[in-house]
Amino acid sequence: MTQPTPFEPSRSPMRRPLPRRTFLRGACAAVVAPYLEALAPRGPAAPVRAAWLYFPNGVAEGSWEPRAGRNGQLRELNKTMAPLERHRERLVIPERIFTPRGNGHGAGTATWLTGGGWDHRTLDADGPSVDQLIGQRFAAEHVVPALSISTKGEGFFAADVSRNTISWSAPGRPVFRETDPRAVFEQLFGGGPEADTSLLDDLKDQVRALEKRVSTADRRMLSAYLDAIRSIERRIAFVQDEATARRLEAAAELGLPFDLDRPIEAVPEDHGAYLGLLLDLVALALWSGASRCASVMLDHGQSNRYCTFVPEVKGTWHALSHWRDTSGKTEDDDGVTSWSSRRSKREMYDRVVTWHHERVALLLDRMAALPEADGSLLDHSMVVYGSSISDGHEHGERDLPTLIAGGAGGALRGGRLLARRGATSLDRLHLATLRAVGVPAERFGAADEPLALG
Amino acid sequence: MLNGQKHNARRPSGWIAAVPLILSAGPAPQHRGASSVDDPVTEGRSVIELVCVECHDGDEAEAGFDVARLIRAERAAEHLFEWRRAGAMIETGAMPPPLRSGRGGGLDNDDRASALAFLGAVEREALATGGAAGAEPARRLTRDELTHALGDLLEVEVDVAALMPPELVAENSFDTNGATLFIHGEWLQRADVAVRVAIDAAFPDGPSPGRADGFALAPFLRRAFRRPPSPEELVRYQDLRAARLAGGATAEEALRATLFAVLSSPHFRLRLEDVPERPVEGERAVSAHGLASRLSFLLWAGPPDERLLDLADTGELGEPEVLASEAARLLMDPRALRFARSFAGQWLGTRRVGREFKPDPIDNPAMTDSLMADMRDEVARFFLMLLREERPLDALLLGEETFLSEELARFYGVEHPGGDVARVEAPELRRGLLGKAAVLAATSYPDRSSPVLRGAWILDDLLGTPPPPPPPGASEFDEEAFEEGEARGARGILERHRASPACASCHDHIDPLGFALDGFDRFGRRRDHDDFGHRVKATGALPGGEEFHGPEGLAGAILRDRRTELSREVARRLMRFSLGRPLEWSDERTVVELGAVLEGHGFGALIASLVTSRPFTRIESR
C-alpha cells in the first residue's frame, strides 16, 4: 500500500494559476490594502465583516466578569482575561446571555449560531446559522463567503455531528469545517487539482438532467451537488483574478505568514502555532475579500484534548472543566492525572481558558494592524467570542461567557459592559450582527429586537 | 384506579363512556368491536391522558415530550417509538413522578396494567398496518466506499481514504446514514484528488505501451456507473478521448483525462444506479441494477462485480432466490470482511478501540496499536463466521471458535499455531461476543471498567431497549462516591447510587447486567479484583429474572429470557446499516419478521431474508 500525503504535488499537481506579481516587492511604503479603493473591484470600499470564535467547556464561575463603572464603562477585565486587557477599549461584554432552546456540550454547540433547538434524530439545529445567512446574502461577492474552520478534534466526540458543528447552511446540513491550514489556504487561493471549467459545465448538465428524474428528497441532494460545483467555479474565477494576487502580495508585506512560494505546514506539531496559523488565515480571508465572515471552533464541543501545551497544566480540557471534582476519576479523566485541590484544578482550568484568550488577543492585534479605508480591518469587523456553557462543572446554562470585539464600521462602541437585569437571548446579538453586516433581517431565532451595540 | 387526588378531581364522571374510540382520536379501527368501560385499552388511554398530559402538554411539555399531541394523533401506531418511550418510563416506575403531597411515584397496579394494555395495542396496530417499503434517500458514496470503488475499478491498492475528510456520524448511527453524507465543495475537491491519485497508481510512471490503446470504455463505464451506460454517455466519453488525442495528447494522457471525467460524474460518486426516467409516485420495485449495488455496497462496501452486473442485465437478480444466493456468494468473498469490520465495529462500538478508546501508551505498553487492531478484527471475523456458516442465534453469545493473532492469543493466554490470524477454539470465558476483549474495552472508560457502560451497552446495542439518558443534575461519580469505592468496591458505589429512587428506576436494570462482566478489566483482561481492589463478584440479573454468574451466565439468561429482543435488535441494526436511514414505525413489522427468521433459522437465513425483504427490494417516493 502506498500512502500518499494529502496535497502532495505529484503528477497531478495542485495547479496554482496565480500569476506571480512583484510590483509591491520592496516598496514598503506602498503597502496597499485590499479594501483600499484602488484594489477593491467588488462591493463597498470596506464592508463590515464578522467572525465567531467558539470555545468549549465554558469558564469557571467568576472567571469572566469584569470590573466596570456605574455607567457600564469597563475598568478592568477579569484577571483570567488579562491577555485581552490591551483590547479593552474595543470590547463589549454583554451580561446574562443565554440560549433559550439549546444548551450544553452537544445541543449548545450545534445551536450556538442558529438560535434554534437541537433534534438529534433529524440532526436539525434549526439552521441556517447566522454566518451562513450572511454568506448566502453576499455569495456573489466572495470566493468562500462564510469560512468555516476549526482545530482537528482529539478524543471522545471528535466525530460527533452536534459537537463538531456550529455552522449550518440549512436545517440538517452542517457546513464542512476545514482543520488543515494548508487546505484552508487552498480553499481560498488555490485553484484545485484541475481547473477545467468545461468539465464542470458538463457535470452541471448531468446533475440538471438528473434533477428532472428524481423525487423531492433526492433533488435536495442534487442541489447540494450543484452548489458544490458552483463553489469550485467561484474559486477558479477568484484565483484567476489578478486582484487576488495583489491582495496576497500585500498580505505578505504586512507580515501574514503566507507566501505562494512557500508551502504552509499542514498541521503544525505545536498547538499554539497551529491555532495561530488558522486565526491568521481568518484575518487573511476577511482582509483579502475572500470571505465576508468566518466561524471558528477553537476546539470541538466537550473537547477532551490534553492541554499540556499550556504551562503547568495536566489533564484534559473537559476533565479540568469539572473543576470541583478532584478525584481524577470522573468521566473522561485518564485515571492517571490527579489534582491536589479544587483550587489547583480550577487554576489549571483557568489557565487553559486564558491561553485561548491570548490566541484571540493575537488575532485582534493582527486585525488592528491590517489597514483599510480610514482604519483597520478590526474597525470594520465584529468579532463574537464565547462558549455555550458558563461554569463547566455545573454545565451552567445562564450567563454564557460572551464578548464582542471590533468597531463594526462605527456601529459598535467599545469599552463597555452591557449590564442587564434580565436574561438576554443570544439570538438578539446574532440579529444585531446580521444588521451590522448589512443583512436586513427582521428577526433571528426568537428575537425581533437586536441587542443595542452603539 | 387513578393514583392521586388531583387527577381524580379533574376526571369528569362518565367521561370514558362518552368516548367511543380506542387508540386514537380518529375513527375507531374496524377490526375492533365497540369498547366498553371495562376495556383495559380504552381505560389505559384515558389513564395516560389524565395522568401524563398534566405535565406533558404542548410546546412547554416536560422533557419536550408532548403526550397531548400523541393522544390527539390520527393513528397512534405512527408514534410507536414515542409511545415506547412512554411505556419504558411507566414500566420502570420512573413516570409519573411522586406527587407533591409526598405520595410515591408510578401508577397503582390497575392503572399501570391498563396503560400497558393500551401501549400493547399500539404495538399490535403498528405491526398489523406497517411493513411499508420506506423511502431511502439517494446518497453519495462514503469515504470507505469511494476508496473501495476506486481500488476495485482501477485494480490498484492505494489508501485514498487518507485524502478524504473523515465522515461525521450522528450519535448512535452508522456512517452509511444518508442524512450525514453531506456534500460540499471541499468534498468534491478532495474526491478529485483521490481519483487523480488512484489513476496515477493505475498508470505508474514509465512506458506502458499498449495499455491505453486497448482500453475499452464501455465496460469501464458499466462498472463505474454500476449499470449499462446509455449510448449518449458512451459517445460523450469517446468524444472526450478523441478530442484529447486530436489536441496532441498521447493515448495514455487522453485515457487518463477520460477516466478522470468518468470518475468525476455524479453517476459514479452518488448512488444513482436506480433512477427512473421520470419521478414515480408511491412505491415501486428497486431495479435489478439498483439491487446489485444495494447488495454489493452492503456486503462489500464497494461496487458490484461483473457477475452481479450480468445478473442485473438479464433481470435474474430480481428473483428472490437469485438475490439470496448472490448474497451468500458475496459473503464468501474476502471483500465481505470490509462489511463485517464496518458493521460490527459500528454496531457494537468496537471500532472505538484504539481510536476514541486509547489508553496512555506510556502507562500501558502492552496495549499496542497492533493488539487493539487485532481485538477489533476478532469481533469482525467472528461475526462474519456466523453469517458465512449460517450459525444459529445462540452462537452470537456462545460461539466457541474465534480468530486470534499471535499477539491477541498471548493477551488471552491461549495457544496459537504461529503465523497469521488463526481460527482457534476460544477459552470458555471468551466465547461469543461477551468475552471479546474489544467489546469489553469499548464498554469501558480509558481508565477503568464500568458496569454502568456495560449494562447500558447490553440494553441498547444487544436488546434494543436503551435506558433513558440520566436526568439533568444526576450526579456523576463524586468524591464521596470514591470514598465509598475505596471502602466497598465498585458494587458499593453503585448500590449507594441506587439508594436514591430517582436513580434506582433505571440503574436497577442497568448495573446488574454490567456486573456479570466485572471479571474483566477495562482492556478485557481477566481479573479477580475490581478497580478499587475489592474481590470481584460477577453475579448479575436481568430485570425480574434470576441471578446468574459471569459472561456464560449472562449469555444464557439473555438467550433464555430475551431471545426475541436480541434477534429483533440484530435485525434492526442490519436494516439501518443496509438501508442508510433511521427506521420508522412501519419498519417494525419487517423487524419482527426478520427477528423471527434469525431466532428460528439463524444468521444465514437472516441475510437471505433481509436482502429479499420489502424495504430492501422496494422503495417509496414521498
| Cis peptide bond upstream of B96, omega within 30 | yes
Count of the separate structural domains present in chain B: 2
Which of A44, A35, A279 lies closest to A138 in space, CA to CA? A44
CA distance B495 to B500: 9
| B contact residues 329-358, partner A, Cβ 8 Å cutoff | 356
Buried b (16+ CB within 10 A) or exposed e, B168-179: bbbeebbbbbbb
CA distance B11 to B533: 56
Q: Which three cell numbers stand for residue B111?
A: 392503572
Based on the number of CB atoms within 10 Å of its own CB, is B579 exposed (0-12), middle (13-18) or buried (19 or more)?
A: buried
The answer to whether residues B178 and B287 belong to one domain is yes
The answer to whether residues B113 and B171 belong to one domain is no
List the single best residue of A2, A149, A175, A337 to mutate versus B (max B Cβ within 10 A).
A2
Q: Is A291 on the interface with B (CB under 8 A)?
A: no
The last residue of a domain, from among B296, B315, B332: B332
CA distance A2 to B201: 9
- Other beta carbons within 10 angstroms of residue A337's beta carbon come to 17
The last residue of a domain, from among B332, B367, B383: B332
Q: Is B37 on the interface with A (CB under 8 A)?
A: no
Own/partner contacts of B546-549, CB < 8 Å, gap of 24 or more, are: B548/B516, B549/B516
Q: Is residue A210 part of a domain?
A: no
The answer to whether residues B124 and B188 belong to one domain is no
Q: Is B270 on the interface with A (CB under 8 A)?
A: yes
**Is the four-CA dihedral B135, B141, B142, B145 of positive or negative sign?**
positive
The answer to whether residues B103 and B195 belong to one domain is no
Give me the helices (H) in B169-319, please.
185-202, 217-225, 231-246, 251-264, 266-269, 288-299, 306-314
- Minimal C-alpha gap between B149 and chain A (Å): 16
Q: Nearest 5 degrees, angle CA B241-CA B245-CA B248? A: 145
| Cis peptide bond upstream of A401, omega within 30 | no
Nearest residue in chain B measured CA to CA from A203: B265
What was the pLDDT predicted at A100?
Answer: 77
What was the pLDDT predicted at A81?
Answer: 97
Q: Which residues, including other chains, have CB under 8 Å from residue A276's CB and lie 6 or more apart?
A: A359, A362
Say if the Cβ atoms of A336 and B260 lie within 8 Å. Answer: no
Say if the Cβ atoms of A159 and B169 lie within 8 Å. Answer: yes
Instruction: Give chain A positions within 8 Å (CB) of B183.
Output: 221, 224-225, 227-228
Instruction: Give chain B positions within 8 Å (CB) of A193.
Output: 189, 192-193, 196
Q: Is A214 on the interface with B (CB under 8 A)?
A: yes
The answer to whether residues B219 and B108 belong to one domain is no
Tens of pLDDT, residues A105-140: 888 999 999 988 888 777 788 889 999 999 999 988
Q: Are A96 and A451 contacting, i.e. CB atoms less than 8 angstroms apart?
A: no
Q: Is residue A20 part of a domain?
A: no
The answer to whether residues B323 and B269 belong to one domain is yes
Q: Is B236 on the interface with A (CB under 8 A)?
A: yes
What was the pLDDT predicted at B544?
Answer: 78
Q: Are B3 and B108 contacting, i.e. CB atoms less than 8 angstroms apart?
A: yes
Q: Which three cell numbers stand for residue B409?
A: 492469543
The answer, yes or no, to whether residue A91 has pLDDT greater than 80, is yes
Whose cell is 461519580? That residue is B477
Say if the Cβ atoms of A160 and B171 lie within 8 Å. Answer: yes
Instruction: Tell me which of A31-45, A189-203, B227-241, B509-523 is least confident.
Output: A31-45
What was the pLDDT predicted at A31?
Answer: 35
- Minimal C-alpha gap between B495 and chain A (Å): 18
CA distance B134 to B551: 38
Which of B39, B40, B114, B22 lies closest to B76 in space, CA to CA? B22
Q: Is residue A321 part of a domain?
A: yes
The answer to whether residues B211 and B117 belong to one domain is no
If DSSP codes are grouped into helix, strand and coil, which group holds residue A290? coil
Q: Is residue B603 part of a domain?
A: no
Q: Are B245 and A181 contacting, i.e. CB atoms less than 8 angstroms apart?
A: no
Q: Is A20 on the interface with B (CB under 8 A)?
A: no
Tens of pLDDT, residues A322-374: 888 877 666 556 666 778 888 999 999 999 999 999 999 999 999 998 888 88
Tens of pLDDT, residues B135-193: 888 899 999 999 999 999 999 988 888 888 888 888 788 999 988 898 888 889 889 98
Q: Are B84 and B467 contacting, i.e. CB atoms less than 8 angstroms apart?
A: no
Instruction: Give chain A positions within 8 Å (CB) of B167.
Output: 159
Q: Is residue A246 part of a domain?
A: no
For helices B501-515 and B479-498, the axis angle rounded to 10 degrees is 90
Instruction: Tell me which of A49-53, A190-194, A301-305 is least confident.
Output: A190-194
* CATH assignment of the domain containing A139: 3.40.720
Band (B93; pLDDT cuts 50, 70, 90)? confident
The answer, yes or no, to whether residue B9 has pLDDT greater than 70, is no
Count of the separate structural domains present in chain A: 1
Beta bridge partners of A98: A425
Instruction: Give chain B positions within 8 Å (CB) of A319.
Output: none
Q: Is residue B162 part of a domain?
A: yes
Q: Is residue B180 part of a domain?
A: yes
Q: Are A172 and A124 contacting, i.e. CB atoms less than 8 angstroms apart?
A: yes
Q: Is A162 on the interface with B (CB under 8 A)?
A: yes
Band (B325; pLDDT cuts 50, 70, 90)? very high
The answer to whether residues B174 and B220 belong to one domain is yes
Which of A171, A34, A49 lies closest to A439 in space, CA to CA? A49
What was the pLDDT predicted at B407?
Answer: 96
The answer, yes or no, to whether residue B518 has pLDDT greater than 90, is yes
The answer, yes or no, to whether residue B566 has pLDDT greater than 80, is yes
CA distance B52 to B43: 14
What was the pLDDT predicted at A32?
Answer: 37
Q: Which domain holds residue A63?
A: 50-179+267-437
The answer to whether residues B10 and B100 belong to one domain is yes
Q: Which three cell numbers stand for residue B561?
A: 429470557
Q: Is B81 on the interface with A (CB under 8 A)?
A: no
The answer to whether residues B76 and B159 belong to one domain is no
Q: Which domain holds residue B159?
A: 143-332
Composition of chain B by helix, strand, coil, percent to 5: 55, 5, 40
| A contact residues 316-335, partner B, Cβ 8 Å cutoff | 322, 325-327, 329-335
The answer to whether residues B120 and B181 belong to one domain is no
Please provide residue A333's backbone torsions phi and psi, each rounded to the nearest 5 degrees: -60, 150
Own/partner contacts of B478-486, CB < 8 Å, gap of 24 or more, are: B478/A325, B478/A327, B478/A330, B479/A325, B479/A326, B479/A327, B482/A327, B482/A329, B485/B531, B485/B532, B486/B532
Which residue in A183, A212, A221 is closest to B137 by CB distance? A221
Instruction: Give chain B positions within 8 Å (CB) of A187.
Output: 186
Q: Which residues, including other chains, have CB under 8 Å from residue B240's CB and lie 6 or more apart?
A: B257, B258, B261
What was the pLDDT predicted at A437?
Answer: 95
Which residue in B169, B185, B266 is closest to A161 by CB distance? B169
CA distance A76 to A87: 11
Give me the helices (H) in A212-316, please.
216-240, 242-253, 271-288
CA distances from A13 to A7, B157, B193, B261 (A): 8, 21, 9, 17
Tens of pLDDT, residues B569-616: 999 999 999 999 999 999 999 999 999 999 999 999 999 999 999 999
Which of A100, A114, A112 lies closest to A163 in space, CA to CA? A112
Q: What is the mean pLDDT of chain B?
A: 86
Q: Is residue B167 part of a domain?
A: yes
Band (B34; pLDDT cuts 50, 70, 90)? very low
Instruction: Tell me which of A191-195, B228-232, B310-314 is least confident.
Output: A191-195
CA distance B379 to B437: 9
Q: What is the mean pLDDT of chain A?
A: 83
Please count the residue pairs, one from chain A and one from chain B, whose beta carbons lie less than 8 angstroms apart: 175
Give me the helices (H) in B443-543, please.
451-457, 479-498, 501-515
Tell me the percentage of chain B whose pLDDT exceeds 70. 88
Say if the Cβ atoms of A218 and B138 lie within 8 Å. Answer: yes
If DSSP codes are grouped into helix, strand and coil, which group holds residue A330? coil
Buried b (16+ CB within 10 A) or exposed e, A339-350: beeeeebbbbbb
What was the pLDDT predicted at A41?
Answer: 38
Q: Is residue B202 part of a domain?
A: yes
Band (A195; pLDDT cuts 50, 70, 90)? low
- Mean pLDDT comparison of A417-431, B272-286, B304-318, highest-scoring range: B304-318
Q: Is residue A332 part of a domain?
A: yes
The answer to whether residues B302 and B325 belong to one domain is yes
Say if the Cβ atoms of B266 and A174 lie within 8 Å. Answer: no
The last residue of a domain, from among B332, B357, B374: B332
- Other beta carbons within 10 angstroms of residue A262's beta carbon come to 9
Q: Are A102 and A108 contacting, i.e. CB atoms less than 8 angstroms apart?
A: yes
The answer, yes or no, to whether residue B1 has pLDDT greater than 60, is no
Q: Is residue B514 part of a domain?
A: no
ipTM of the complex: 0.82
- Minimal C-alpha gap between A2 and chain B (Å): 6
**Is the four-CA dihedral B149, B154, B158, B160 of positive or negative sign?**
negative
What was the pLDDT predicted at B338?
Answer: 97
Question: In the predicted model, what is the mean pLDDT of residues B398-423?
Answer: 95
